[in-house]
Amino acid sequence: MNSPSSHNSGSNLEKHANGWLFQSQRRYHFFLFGLTLAIIYGMAHLSISFIENRTLSKFENLASDFSLEWLTVKPNGTKLEFSGTPPNQLEYLGLISLVNLNFDPDGIINNIQALESSYTPSQNLELIMYSKASTIFIFGSFSNSEQKTSTLELLSATHPEKTINDFSTLKSDVATTELDIVVEYGTRVLNSLLEGMVTISDNTVSVTSHFNTQEATETITAQLMNDQPDEVDLELNLSYPIPLFKPYRFGIFLNDQDSRLEICHVADAASQDRLISLLNPIIPDQEPDCQIAHGAPSPTWLDLISQLLETLANSKETHLRISDFSVIVMSRNELSDLVIDSLEEIFNSSHGEEYNLRILSNTDESTQLSPDFLRITKDLENNLTVFGAIPDNSIKSLLLDIMTAYFLKDEISDFIQIEEASASLDLELITTGIKSLTLLDEGELVVPENELIFSGKVSSSEKYNSFINYLSSELNQGNFVSNVEIDEDLIPPPPLSAEECRNGIAEVLVDKKITFDSGSVEINEQTGTILPGLAEVLIKCNHFTWEIGGHTDSQGRESMNFELSSKRASAILDALVEAGVPSDILTAIGYGERFPIANNRTEAGREKNRRIVIQILENGIE
């Protein structure tokens, strides 16, 4: 039982406390304010700690497939702070791409130091700038910070509508005034292109771009050469679209119910419908994507595919690849004698003279087209297709970024599968392979583990030597295999310019003249010797429209002269068409005596006025 004294003492204390807290309204409000601050601070601390740990954990999971020992990552409030010095440009590019793909850039504090060594140590300076659509990318190393700042400012001022993605670093030990001139000129070159790539290597500026016409190519070539400083060596790879005569590809991986189509080209909508109907039973879970391509395939293209698919229908882990007139059947398993005999019979009967067949069954070479291996193909128009399996989406995105940078392509046909169990990729090796693939006119890169395997074609021995020399300088001989061939007919020569065509006509007529016997419209012996040379030039220049104009002197009636000149022009047109010139590029017109070029009062003058003029119609210039 409590004593009265104890009870009273506790009661008095409680009353005293309550009285102290509540007897002053101001003191009570201060108390509530302090309590609220304490609760908010505690919750904020717990929230920030939770966000820090979650963000750091997310980054660690994403970066687990990269070797980033050089990188230090720590939470800083609600942000991640990066510090360290990357060993090369590629690892820095990989990190930035990884971060930009998965984090808000405002949530990153970037304290990464400049590279101690450049991306290509054998070069004093290598810088790549390319402009595509709404973006400008910059890779490589500047020689000093002032050079980098001025370049970015010039690009931003010229292209305010474009986003500049700068992945460059500094290599300060090569800073010279001469290199500043080279970089400044290279930047101005990029600014003069709607789309294109400028590569600066020491004092050499290499330019790659495409234009709609030959005239545009010639104009920009003249402009760049006129602006070229004495300190700069200029290399130009400027072109306009080249017509594809044989761009046709077909590729499918056959594996019972797990088959998948990789690439498919057809000539028209009817062929597309027919081939899709053939493929639907083979790949029921995939919508066949058969693209209508330019040019014309072999007349037996669809029949050949149909026969091959029927023969290989029950094969396992087998690739069928048709590229132009080359057919490759690769199987990890041993193909039966019956299947091999059936394949050979197809070509011995109706396709033997046209197509070349290779069968690789259960050999080391047959594994090169494994669906798990990374494979990148390009055609003559630089269209890219990439196949294979990659561990995660961040590495896939980085790979596509690198391909976009080197090939200047916004759209890449992507057949990459995300398989966590697939082998990790050596990004530096693959980047070397991608850069090497740009040196081929058409081809394929296969990457089985730590090896690069190339196949394809180049149009000259110079291109082949450049390809081999680059690979040999970057890799050991055992790290790459080349099955690249030289085909000098691979790329047709570009059409002659208007000036070249006019000069060609002038050369044929330099000491000769198209003449007719007096009052006649029949082609005489002298004119007959001239026409083959004219026809040869016009056939080469059939991308222009030509006018054959007939002219007479002033003797005789005007109406008679007009009729005579028209018939003579038509006679020349008919003779040229008979010699092989397309009729739709020629127009014959008679002008009679209306446009003399000499005095009709003298025999010499009248002789000059009696003439045939062959010229390009201005509205016929492409």
Question: Mean pLDDT over residues 30-42, rounded?
Answer: 54
Kindly tell me if the per-residue pLDDT of 95 is higher than 50. Answer: yes
Of residues 114 and 9, more confidently modeled: 114
Q: How far apart are CA 88 and CA 608, in angstroms?
A: 73
Kindly tell me if the per-residue pLDDT of 318 is higher than 80. Answer: yes
Pairing of strands 108-112, 442-447: unpaired
Which CATH number fits the domain 498-620, given the four candidates 3.30.1330.60, 3.40.50.2300, 3.40.718.10, 3.30.450.40? Answer: 3.30.1330.60
- Phi, psi at 428, each rounded to 5°: -70, -40
pLDDT at residue 123 in the model: 44
End-to-end CA distance of the chain: 115
CB 518 within 8 A of CB 524: no
pLDDT at residue 517 in the model: 77
CB 594 within 8 A of CB 479: no
Q: Residues 358-403: pLDDT tens digits?
A: 887 776 555 555 666 788 888 887 888 888 778 887 788 888 888 8
Question: Mean pLDDT over residues 320-330, rounded?
Answer: 79
Kindly tell me if the per-residue pLDDT of 67 is higher than 60. Answer: no
Residue 205: CA count within 13 A, CB half-sphere: 28
pLDDT at residue 588 in the model: 93
Q: How far apart are CA 144 and CA 151, in angstroms?
A: 11
Exposure letters 143-160 (e unless 16+ CB within 10 A, then b):
bbeebbebbbebbeeebe
Q: How far apart are CA 622 and CA 609, in angstroms?
A: 31
Lowest mean pLDDT among 15-24, 137-146, 197-206, 436-445: 15-24
Exposed / middle / buried, residue 563 (Cβ in 10 Å: 0-12, 13-18, 19+) = middle
Q: Residues 531-586: pLDDT tens digits?
A: 999 999 999 898 889 999 999 888 888 888 899 999 999 999 999 999 999 998 99
pLDDT at residue 453 in the model: 87
How many Å separate Cα 500 from the centre of its chain? 30
The pLDDT confidence band at residue 610, using thresholds 50, 70 and 90, is confident
| Mean predicted lDDT score pLDDT of the chain | 77
Q: How far apart are CA 217 and CA 225, in angstroms?
A: 12
Residue 140: CB atoms within 10 Å: 21
pLDDT at residue 577 in the model: 92
Kindly tell me if the per-residue pLDDT of 606 is higher than 60. Answer: yes
Q: How far apart are CA 328 and CA 400, in angstroms?
A: 27
Kindly tell me if the per-residue pLDDT of 55 is higher than 70. Answer: no
Lowest mean pLDDT among 78-92, 112-126, 276-290: 112-126
Exposed / middle / buried, residue 41 (Cβ in 10 Å: 0-12, 13-18, 19+) = exposed
Question: Mean pLDDT over residues 405-427, rounded?
Answer: 75
CB 308 within 8 A of CB 279: no
Q: How far apart are CA 361 and CA 543, in angstroms?
A: 47
Q: How far apart are CA 187 and CA 227, in angstroms?
A: 12
Pairing of strands 169-170, 135-142: parallel
Which residues are within 8 A (CB) of 524 and not within 5 positions of it... i.e. 6 or more apart? 515, 516, 517
Alpha-carbon dihedral of residues 463, 466, 468, 471, nearest 10 degrees? -130
pLDDT at residue 173 in the model: 53
Kindly tell me if the per-residue pLDDT of 325 is higher than 80. Answer: no
Kindly tell me if the per-residue pLDDT of 32 is higher than 90. Answer: no
DSSP labels, 96-158: HHHHHHHS-GGGEEEEEPPPSS-SSTTSS-EEEEEEETTEEEEEEEESSHHHHHHHHHHHHHH
Kindly tell me if the per-residue pLDDT of 73 is higher than 90. Answer: no
Of residues 54 and 461, more confidently modeled: 461
Closest CA to 407 of 374, 429, 440: 440
Query: What kind of fold does domain 126-239 have according to CATH?
Result: hypothetical protein tt1634 (3.40.1520)
User: Could you write out the three-class secondary structure of 244-306?
Assistant: CCCCCEEEEEECHHHCEEEEEEECCHHHHHHHHHHHCCCCCCCCCCCEECCCCCCCCHHHHHH
pLDDT at residue 26 in the model: 56
Q: How far apart are CA 223 and CA 239, in angstroms?
A: 15
Q: State what percent of residues in the chain have pLDDT above 90.
A: 11
The SS3 call for residue 234 is strand
Kindly tell me if the per-residue pLDDT of 440 is higher than 90. Answer: yes
Q: Residues 487-516: pLDDT tens digits?
A: 888 877 778 888 899 999 999 988 888 888
Q: How far apart are CA 616 and CA 548, in angstroms?
A: 9
pLDDT at residue 392 in the model: 80
CB 410 within 8 A of CB 133: yes
Angstrom distances, CA of residue 568 to CA of 30, 485, 591 = 112, 51, 11
Q: Residues 234-290: pLDDT tens digits?
A: 888 776 554 333 457 788 888 876 788 877 888 777 888 899 999 988 888 778 878
Query: What kind of fold does domain 287-486 have according to CATH?
Result: hypothetical protein tt1634 (3.40.1520)
pLDDT at residue 5 in the model: 38
Angstrom distances, CA of residue 342 to CA of 320, 347, 430 = 14, 9, 38
The pLDDT confidence band at residue 100, using thresholds 50, 70 and 90, is low
